[in-house]
Amino acid sequence: MPMNASASRRQDLLKIDAASETERIVAGIREVVVSRFHRKGAVVGVSGGIDSAVVAFLCARALGPERVLVLFTPEADSSPESLRLGKLVAEKLGAPSQLENITPLLQAAGCYERRDAAIRRLVPEYTARHKCKIVLPNLLSSDRYPIFHLVVQAPDGNTKHVRLTAETYLGILAATNLKQRTRKLIEYYYGDLKHYVVAGTPNRLEYDQGFFVKYGDGAADLKPIAHLYKSQVYQLAAFLEVPQEIQSRVPTTDTYSLEQSQEEFYFSLSLEKMDLCLYGKNQGMPAAEIAPMVGLPERQVERVYALIDGKRNAARYLHSSPVLMEPIDLPLVQD
């Protein structure tokens, strides 16, 4: 297939009617907030990224901007740019906002100390002045297991890559997951205070592949864009006139002190390519069909398909509600 035809088909695959999709989601938000949960508005934790901005815009359209609380929860490792961009969302919407720096809560919970202690098991010279992130190596060129590596940057700029051990990986993960769970704690504080729902902000890629923290950013009363691929979220952002700076910002997880691109989490693929692979897999498209559109050899698309399956298996635990030993029937009473 010629490249231009591939590019054209690539754009068509994930193309949505942004106006009608917006109306559908807006109607859904109203139904959930008002009719099902009888709440008065929505709390949206806004990170400065595209997903949370789109959710805030959708909630404002559904409920009115005065019934959306835009919440900023930066911490010591957050980029100042994230807060600046987040504030643009509240300003553009004319929605009330609240700033809660969660660093003291995280310090009290030992988040940073516990993380640093875990890192020092592998990198003894690590101090609070070092920076770090965890990344996946390129997994497409071989059948290598998806094993995370730790990247540490010394104050003089020198970086070190180390393969993680299970003990260190779990130590870092457990400590950094306190960030997402603390954010959710604050979101639900405001949800209770104002009798609002808490809106979650995962896109389809994150929801499907389990790129969230259980009872952290995975917790919410509704997830208005969980069915949308990342490139569809961008289409909605353009339609909703989300500030251009947010639309053009390179996605980041904003969790580690060293900037970690989302691509370093997604099998070394760009989000656009990851979107296409996930779509192709969901539609039952053979790797050979999607490969020219993604611009990868068929073998590598097959590899991505296998990695998607692996992540889905791991995500089953993340999606699972508490398991009961026997079903309990709770009849709904109409009010």
Partner 1 sequence: MPDFENEIRTFIVDNFLMGRGDALRRDDSFLEKGIFDSTGILELVSFIENKYSIELEPDELVPENLDSIALLARFLEHKLLLRNPVSELIGSPSSGRSSL
Which residue's CB is nearer to partner 1, number 35 or number 142?
A: 142
Q: Do 89 and 242 touch, CB atoms closer than 8 A?
A: yes
CA–CA dist 16, 21 (Å, integer): 7
254 in Cβ contact with 281 (< 8 Å): no
What is the residue whose two structure tokens read 């202690």? 117
Say whether 308 sits in a helix, a strand or coil: helix
Amino acid at 203: N
Say whether 93 sits in a helix, a strand or coil.
helix
107-140 b/e with 16+ CB inside 10 Å = b?
A: eebebbebbbebbeebbeebeeebbbbbbbbebb
3-state per-residue secondary structure call for 68-122 = EEEEECCCCCCCHHHHHHHHHHHHHHCCCEEECCCHHHHHHCCHHHHHHHHHHCC
Q: Which burial class, exposed, middle or buried, applies to 298 when counting CB atoms under 10 A from its CB (0-12, 13-18, 19+)? A: middle
Token duo for residue 185: 């704690």
In the chain, the N- to C-terminal Cα span, in Å, equals 59
Which residues in this chain contact partner 1 in the complex, by CB under 8 A? 137, 142-148, 163-167, 169-170, 310, 313-314
Distance CA 66, CA 97 (A): 10
Point out which residues pair with 42 in neighbouring strands: 68, 197
Within 8 A by CB and 6+ apart from 42, the residues are: 29, 33, 59, 63, 67, 68, 69, 196, 197, 198, 199
Q: Quote the tokens at residue 96.
A: 């009330």
Report the distance separating Cα 123 and Cα 167, nearest Å: 13
The residue (of 145 and 330) whose beta carbon lies closer to partner 1 is: 145
